[in-house]
Amino acid sequence: MLRALKHSVNVLESVATSSFSAWRGCLVVKPAVQPQKPLVLYDIEACPYCRKVREVFTALHLDVDIRPCPKGGQVFRREAEMLGGKQQFPLLVDPNTDQVMYESEQIIEYLFSQYGGCSVPGYYETKAGQFVWGAAASASSELRGMRVERAKRPEQSLHLWSFEGSPFSRLVREKLCEFELPYTLHNLGKEHWTEFGPAFQRIKPGPYKPQPGGKRDAFFQEHGRVQVPYLEDPNTGVKLFESKQIVDYLEKEYAL
């Protein structure tokens, strides 16, 4: 009962985080072709600068391998330092172009230019006071996804279908970050305004039909619905939708 209540409170806090972030990272701006080799992001879920970069991955519909680097972490922070020379996040590694870069603004410009073939849209440009709103967004979620928690190491990376602005997906990403569990983030942003709204009843009435040929259509064909978060753990064969079930599973399977 108390766990269910706490989860509901966390969802409301996550809604506030998305609101402070102006709900960026929900709608796909320009679908990009997935590169031959996966991009890698060394990331702290609660960091405002990392959030800005993840928003762009959703905007471009790009998947990315996440290496969580929470404060106090011992798994990927040293690896990031070896690659870039310091423990600063976000850190993007693109093996397709041999690029290694830190600053969020530089990463955002690179992603839109390299994979979107365009300049940074106004909605994603850095604006005065944005850091204050970003910090408020992180504080709204009690800085979950900032500090490490002891956990077991998986043999294989997990897979999460998500989009940055989803309040429910954020709860799962927070736990993955705290546990330093590597995962492939499959971005499943909304491809059209009619897709806004919860999975059980979107803005457009009637049965849901995703845009033909897109990532959401492929997901729909496989699962019969489009709902995030969705987690697959190749280490155990577990496949789950609901955020509370996923968080409970991660705590049961990996917490020490």
Structural domains of the chain sorted by starting position, each given as residue range(s) with its CATH number in brackets: 2-188+228-254 (3.40.30.10)
Give the Cα separation of 227 and 87 in Å (integer).
35
Give the Cα separation of 216 and 187 in Å (integer).
10
Give the Cα separation of 57 and 48 in Å (integer).
15
CA 34 from centroid of its chain's CA atoms: 16
Question: For residue 128, is pLDDT > 80?
Answer: no
**Hey, what amino acid is at 98?**
D
Q: Hey, how many other C-beta atoms are within 10 angstroms of the C-beta on 119?
A: 11
Q: Which of 103-117, 124-138, 145-159 has the lowest mean pLDDT?
A: 124-138
**pTM: predicted TM-score of the whole model, two decimal places:** 0.94
Residue 183, token pair as written in the block: 């995962």
pLDDT of residue 199: 62
Q: For the segment 91-100, what is each residue's pLDDT rounded down to a tens digit?
A: 999 999 999 9
Q: For the segment 39-58, what is each residue's pLDDT rounded down to a tens digit?
A: 999 999 999 999 999 999 99
Query: What average pLDDT does the segment 211-216 reach?
Result: 90
Give the Cα separation of 215 and 220 in Å (integer).
9
Residue 141, token pair as written in the block: 């979620």
Give the Cα separation of 69 and 64 in Å (integer).
15
Give the Cα separation of 119 and 138 in Å (integer).
27
Residue 8, token pair as written in the block: 């509901």
Q: Which strands form 183-187's sheet, in the order they lie side by side?
A: 99-101, 91-94, 40-43, 64-68, 183-187, 158-162, 230-233, 238-240
